[in-house]
């Protein structure tokens, strides 16, 4: 708990047998963590067996592979059902250090922010951590394009290390988003649409053989999806497009209705 707020860490897992236990050990050793939710997206390895043997874990195995976005939807559903007030997503591939969990939890728990991202770009950790050069260049280009279309000033949109308040997650229509990798980008665009201030913390990362990654073809599809999401945001803001993704209430509406 932090400030009487329940902290739940969610880990969307797929073929993570090599790194799940190592990530979990570091997650559970951090202050404030009350529960870890692991959702296994029908892995082909023994991820499920490892997860079932962990303490303070709520485990769920998807009956079929639904994709990264579908996995996250289930993660957030289970975290909210468990009474989470602060929800932090950490990939179980040990690419992002769980040691930032206390900092991210306090930023949410003190009411300063409703969304905090662990950025690989701040502090110059991406290339030093082993990010392939083509991915780094793509990251910078897509971030620049999306900042222009969304009117934001984020250092990156593609990190898998994120913290949210319960209030923010309940505000978003996540079920209408993609079940694929573009889910992350769509979710962040929705958050920017609401007017929520997004905080970032510098996050060291590691790239190694066991860390999850998508191939060049799927990276290209993801990049196109990011640009399309940005264009939809821009057209919706200009009143030229009605899009379910951006039907969520703005921050001003919530403040007026609930006095938050």
Q: Could you read off the pLDDT of 90-113 as tens digits, one per residue?
A: 999 999 999 999 999 999 999 999
The percentage of the chain sitting over the pLDDT mark of 90, rounded to a whole number, equals 80
Q: What is the pLDDT of residue 193?
A: 95
Residue scoring higher pLDDT (29 or 257): 29
Q: Could you read off the pLDDT of 32-54 as tens digits, one per residue?
A: 999 999 999 999 999 999 999 99
Task: Provide the CATH number for the domain formed by 7-258 in this structure.
Answer: 3.90.550.10
Q: How many Å apart are CA 31 and CA 128, to the nearest integer?
A: 28
- pLDDT (average), residues 212-222: 79
Task: Read off the pLDDT band of 258 (50, 70, 90).
Answer: very low
* 95 CB-near residues (< 8 Å, 6+ apart): 160, 205, 206, 207, 211, 212
Label each residue of 3-50 as H, E or C.
CCECEEEEEEECCCCCCHHHHHHHHHCCCCEEEEEEEECCCCCCHHHH
- Domain boundaries defined on the chain: 7-258
Helix, strand and coil percent figures for the chain, each rounded to 5: 45, 15, 40
pTM of the model: 0.92
Residues 86, 35 contacting (CB under 8 angstroms):
no
Q: What is the pLDDT of residue 13?
A: 98
- Bridge-based pairing of strands 162-165 and 57-61 is unpaired
Helix (H, G, I), strand (E, B) or coil at 199: strand
Size of the chain, expressed as the number of residues it contains: 260
Q: What is the mean pLDDT of the chain?
A: 92
pLDDT reading at 57 higher than 90 = yes
The percentage of the chain sitting over the pLDDT mark of 70, rounded to a whole number, equals 93
Separation of CA 11 from chain center: 10
């Amino acid at each position: 708990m932090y400030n009487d707020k329940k902290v739940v860490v969610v880990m969307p897992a797929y073929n993570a047998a090599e790194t799940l236990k190592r990530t979990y050990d570091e997650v559970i050793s951090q202050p404030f963590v009350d529960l870890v939710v692991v959702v296994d997206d029908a892995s082909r390895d023994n991820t499920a067996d490892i997860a079932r043997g962990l303490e303070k874990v709520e485990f769920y195995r998807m009956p079929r592979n639904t994709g990264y976005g579908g996995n996250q939807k289930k993660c957030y559903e289970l975290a909210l059902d468990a009474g989470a007030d602060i929800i932090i997503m950490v990939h179980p591939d040990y690419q992002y250090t769980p040691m930032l969990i206390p900092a991210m939890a306090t930023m949410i728990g003190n009411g300063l922010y409703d969304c905090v991202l662990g950025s690989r770009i701040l502090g110059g950790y991406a290339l030093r951590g082993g990010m392939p050069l083509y991915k780094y260049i793509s990251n910078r280009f897509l971030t620049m394009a999306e900042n222009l279309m969304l009117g934001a000033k984020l250092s990156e949109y593609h990190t898998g290390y994120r913290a949210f308040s319960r209030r923010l997650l309940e505000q978003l229509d996540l079920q209408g988003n993609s079940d694929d990798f573009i889910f992350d980008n769509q979710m962040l665009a929705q958050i920017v649409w609401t007017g929520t201030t997004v905080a970032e913390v510098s996050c060291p990362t590691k790239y190694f053989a066991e860390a999850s990654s998508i191939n060049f073809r799927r990276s290209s599809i993801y990049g196109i999806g990011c640009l399309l999401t940005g264009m939809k945001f821009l057209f919706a803001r200009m009143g030229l497009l009605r899009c379910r993704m951006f039907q969520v209430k703005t921050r001003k509406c919530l403040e007026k209705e609930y006095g938050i």
